[in-house]
Each structure stands twice: as structure tokens, then as C-alpha cells.
Structure 1
């Protein structure tokens, strides 16, 4: 396969559609926690705002400045983020990382759909951008829960 064909496969219509229709694509006013993560290699950034009650996300907003792959990943996460627990976020994050690095399976429900990003396995320089949304969300949940306990 040529490099051009690989790139076209990588940026499939599904990935571009996800990137164009991102759920919760706005910052929240007065969130319990706000975390900004940056991928040093490519400069992608994701800022996550959220509120947590009884260990579950009740409000969520995200500002994503990333390539289409990072945007698609954030969109997939955002589709079912409300009501999720830290354990669910961490499981999805760890499974996605294993999918990209170790040829593992994609995250399962409630975070289904990540199989669309399987072609990105070959592009290690894009992995950090793909991981940003879940990493920022896990950190924000941890911070919100710590603040709630204080």
C-alpha cells in the first residue's frame, strides 16, 4: 500500500464525521474540575470540564484542538460520557492504549466505536492525540472526587 492510500484509510469518512460532530463541545461554567492536556509531539490539546455526583459524571464539556484522530476519539468518548464512573473511564483509557500499542481489542460498551481508530496503530506519532480526551477526563474525575471529599 502506498503512503497516500494509508493516509486516506487513516482519515476515513467515519473518522471525519466523528470529528465534525463532537458531543459536549463547549466549556462549562464553574465546573468542579477542569484539566487541560497537551500532546507534546503534535501540539494537540484537550480541555475537559466536569462535575461529579456520587462518583458519576453529571455535567461534561470539552474543548478539543487536535487532529481529526484526536477529535474522533474525543467524540466517541463524549457520546456516552454522562453517568460514567472513574473506573469506567480508566478501563476505556487503558483498553484504548492497549489497542493502539499492543494490537488489543477496542474499548467495549459504553465506549464502543473506537475500532474506527485501529488504522492509527501504525502511526505512533498520533497515539498521544488519540489518548488525550480519556486521559484528561480521568484526571478531572480524580480531581473532582478529591475536591468533593475535602
Structure 2
């Protein structure tokens, strides 16, 4: 998971981007701010989270380009259901790399941060949804 966290340096946060969003985990206090274009390209992240949250953000940013608000909402619902033990591994590339963190409920909020921040960014951005 630490190797994934190192990837985040490639995604600097841009406060002038058209879409800005943020999310906070109530369980652990982790936070994530996201900048992006309308189509979730040129994503930038500013994250204060454990290695699990950072790994989740790296997995998200690898595969988020071009996804719609609806796609992200479906993925977030799948992730939350999986974390609760109610469904199989979500349909998101590389998500299996954070599967060991499922056993730690205190980290579940950090895992969901990038999807929540992206939904917030897209809802605050300009353009079609």
C-alpha cells in the first residue's frame, strides 16, 4: 500500500481547476481535496490520510478519467456495500490491492474519500453531468 501512496506525488492539487471537491472521514479524520476538469482528467489531490486512504486515492486516480457522476455514485455504493460485508469486491480496477483493509472498519471512511471528493467536485463544477 505504501508503494501506491508514492504515486500521489504525480497528481498536484490545482486550486484554479473548474471542479473542486473535498471529503472528510468522520471515523479517522482523514481528508481529501480534489481538483479536476469536468471529465475527471487532470486530477489533482491534496490528501491527509493514512496509508490505506492514500492507496485508495492512488487506485481511484489511476482509473477515474472520463467517468460520469453516475458511474462514481454506483462505484461508491459498491465500495460501501463491500466494506460492510454485504457484497463482493467492487468493479473498480486495482481495488483488490486494498482488500486487506476491509478488516479494519476504522479505515473504511478513508477508503471512500476519493469517490466522495470526486462526486463533490463534479457537483460543484460547471458543465453537463
- Which of the five TM-score ranges fits, normalised by the shorter chain? 0.7 to 0.9
Which residue does the alignment assign to 1:148? 127
Runs of 4+ in 1 over 4 A off after TM superposition: none
Q: Deviations over 1:75-110 (max 9, x none)?
A: 0000022211112211221111111112422232xx
SS of residue paired to 1:76: helix
SS of residue paired to 1:46: strand
Q: Is contact 2:8-2:45 (8 Å) kept? A: no
Which residue does the alignment assign to 1:62? 45
Q: How many angstroms apart in 1 are the aligned matches of 2:90 and 2:9?
A: 18
Q: Deviations over 1:55-87 (max 9, x none)?
A: x32332111111010001000000022211112
TM-score (norm 1): 0.76
Q: Is contact 2:63-2:93 (8 Å) kept? A: no
Which residues of structure 2 form unaligned runs of 5+? Answer: none
SS of residue paired to 1:102: coil
Q: Is contact 1:25-1:64 (8 Å) kept? A: no
Query: Deviation of residue 142 (structure 1)?
Result: 1.7
Q: CA RMSD in A?
A: 1.8
1:137 to 104, 118, 124: 118
Which residue does the alignment assign to 1:71? 54
SS of residue paired to 1:121: helix
Q: Deviations over 1:9-53 (max 9, x none)?
A: xxxxxx12111222752112421221222213322110011221x
Q: Larger relative CO (CA 8 A, sep 6+): 1 or 2?
A: 2
Q: Which has the larger radius of gyration?
A: 1
Matched residues, number: 128
